[in-house]
A and B are shown apart, each in its own frame.
Chain A
Amino acid sequence: MSRQVPLSGMIKRVTAAELYKIFAQFKYRLIPFGMALVPIILLLLNQRSNSLIRFSPENLPYTLLSIAATILLPLVACMLAADLFAGERERGELKISLTRPVSRTALAIGKITAILTYLAGLLVILMVLSLVVTIVSGVAIGQLNGLHIVGAYLLTLLPLAAVSAAAALASTLARSATSGFVLGIVLLVVLNGLALAFPSISSVFFTEYAGLYKNIVGAEVSWTPLLIGVGLLLGSMTVLTTTQLLVFDAKEV
């Protein structure tokens, strides 16, 4: 007798459960507030005449997106991945999920989807607040290209998905939440470092595409670099997720 349980349903249930767990923890409820402070702090700094940080208010949504995509959100992704994979195994909580009627594949994909959903929520907060701050700074709504801004934020989900997959892989390899977090950060730093050290081959590292959105915000869309970036990110995501699934599947708890 064989009875298959649909994978999509399992992933959906795992994602919902993981998001519930994430938001049940105080630190992850606090992060969106911290993230919301970033545009406000930038606005205050920009208003001070002796401030070192100066930017043109109409570019604030992109300035913030750049900071978020390269520093803030990868850090959050590593933190979440460390908690949901290595941390749960360390604390024995993974056993609870693994003995529920979901496959390991669904469990791993559901966790990564939950991480990405949380990051997407943070991006929405940043985008809305950056627009508010831009308007408060005196920029007319008509001067802002809303479509480009929304497109840029949406497109940034792609490099963030690759970062989440890498962080999940690092955390799956680690023994504890702390080492999972550190390993995730080290992996991203090393990839960035390699790209800096070897500029001729830097385009093969997915970390180079955090600024993929720049291809769509100019006067014209730069299709060739955009498509190369999308292809490389999708390829990296596939490789990283497959490797992570294989490692996760082989882990004995």
Chain B
Amino acid sequence: MTIVEIENLTKKYANRRGIEQLSVEVEAGQVLGLLGPNGSGKTTAMKAMTGLLTPDEGQISLFGMNPSEDLPAILEQTGCMIEMPGLYPYLTAEQNLRLTGSFYRKFDPAIVDVVLQQVGLLAYRKEKVRKFSVGMKQRLALAIALLPKPGLLILDEPTNGMDIEGTAMFRELLMQERERGCAVVLSSHLAHEMEQLCTHVAVLREGILADTAAVPQVLHQYGSIESYYLNVTKMDRREVI
């Protein structure tokens, strides 16, 4: 089942950065890793998917619905973590989750403890977020993304600032979500992390999709995602697909 279908998505900012003619698909149970340098358009693509930005051109379909028409219905089943999340510092971890959960039509408060346990923050549930480290905030943002038991996860550099334990926890958690049939779109600068987590990768360069491939194929051909990425990004822009 196709969860994400993006066709010729274009979004340009005043500084001419953004994305151009991006087309990708993600099936249920697949993890698509977006690779690319800063400013290559990874976050822009994710923001367009979650309705934070309005595309200039192109089509986005999530769960067969169009975000410009059915965004609330899409977000009922989508977990997002875009850039460094601005959590509510004056609330505890538990209150942050309860508050964000209250936006959903069907919210079972019992899930709060479950997701806190999953991200390893159960012991800190009563602590105010203003006292949290960057890594703890990332964990909490991940817990928020997991609240709706998502069919799609959109995660923008989710392990930034996380310690080794946190990264391992994240990897395990993502595997569980993948096995459950959740589709994931993930961006990261860490090629090694992508190798372990993704089923597919897409390389973005200057807002253009430079290449997309299945991870086993990449590993077979190049040995590592890093070699693949460096090879693809060395290509002349005219060769971009």
Report the bound CA distance from A14 to B74 in whole Å.
17
B65: contacting residue among A1, A14, A17, A102, CB under 8 A = A1
Judge if A99 is at the interface, Cβ distance under 8 Å: yes
Cβ A20 vs Cβ B102 within 8 A: yes
Cβ B73 vs Cβ A100 within 8 A: no
A residues 45-68 in Cβ contact with B at 8 Å: none
Judge if B100 is at the interface, Cβ distance under 8 Å: yes
A99: contacting residue among B64, B73, B75, B90, CB under 8 A = B75
> B61-97: contact bitstring with A at CB < 8 Å (1 yes, 0 no)?
0011110011111111010101111111011000100
Report the bound CA distance from A102 to B91 in whole Å.
21
Contacts of B66 in A (CB 8 A): 2
Cβ A252 vs Cβ B53 within 8 A: yes
Report the bound CA distance from A22 to B88 in whole Å.
11
Judge if A202 is at the interface, Cβ distance under 8 Å: no
Cβ A96 vs Cβ B100 within 8 A: yes
B80: contacting residue among A13, A99, A252, CB under 8 A = A99
Cβ B73 vs Cβ A4 within 8 A: yes
Count residues on chain A whose CB falls below 8 Å from chain B CBs: 33
How many pairs, one residue from A and one from B, have CB atoms within 8 Å of each other in the complex?
97
Count residues on chain B whose CB falls below 8 Å from chain A CBs: 38
A residues 1-54 in Cβ contact with B at 8 Å: 1-5, 9-10, 13-14, 16-17, 20-21, 24-26
Judge if B10 is at the interface, Cβ distance under 8 Å: no
Tell me whether A96 and B52 are in contact in the complex, defined as CB-CB below 8 angstroms, given that A5-B105, A101-B104 are known contacts: no
One of A86-94, A137-145, A226-234 contacting the partner: A86-94
Judge if B168 is at the interface, Cβ distance under 8 Å: no
* Shortest beta-carbon distance from A22 to chain B in Å: 11
Cβ A100 vs Cβ B104 within 8 A: yes
- Describe A's contact surface by its main secondary structure: helix
B residues 85-138 in Cβ contact with A at 8 Å: 85-88, 90-91, 95, 99-100, 102-105
A5: contacting residue among B73, B87, B88, B100, CB under 8 A = B73
Report the bound CA distance from A20 to B88 in whole Å.
12
Cβ B104 vs Cβ A103 within 8 A: no
Highest count of chain A CB atoms <10 Å: which of B70, B72, B80, B90: B72
A97-B103, A100-B100, A101-B105 known; 9 new pairs, CB 8 Å cut-off, are A2-B66, A2-B73, A91-B86, A96-B88, A99-B50, A99-B51, A99-B75, A102-B103, A252-B47
> Nearest 3 CB-CB pairs, A to B?
A92-B86, A100-B103, A3-B73
- Listed A/B pairs (18) with beta-carbon separation below 8 Å: A1-B65, A2-B70, A4-B73, A13-B103, A16-B102, A17-B103, A95-B83, A95-B86, A96-B86, A96-B87, A96-B100, A98-B50, A99-B51, A99-B75, A99-B78, A101-B104, A101-B148, A106-B72
Residue ranges of B at the interface with A (Cβ–Cβ < 8 Å): 47, 50-54, 63-66, 69-76, 78, 80, 82-88, 90-91, 95, 99-100, 102-105, 144, 148
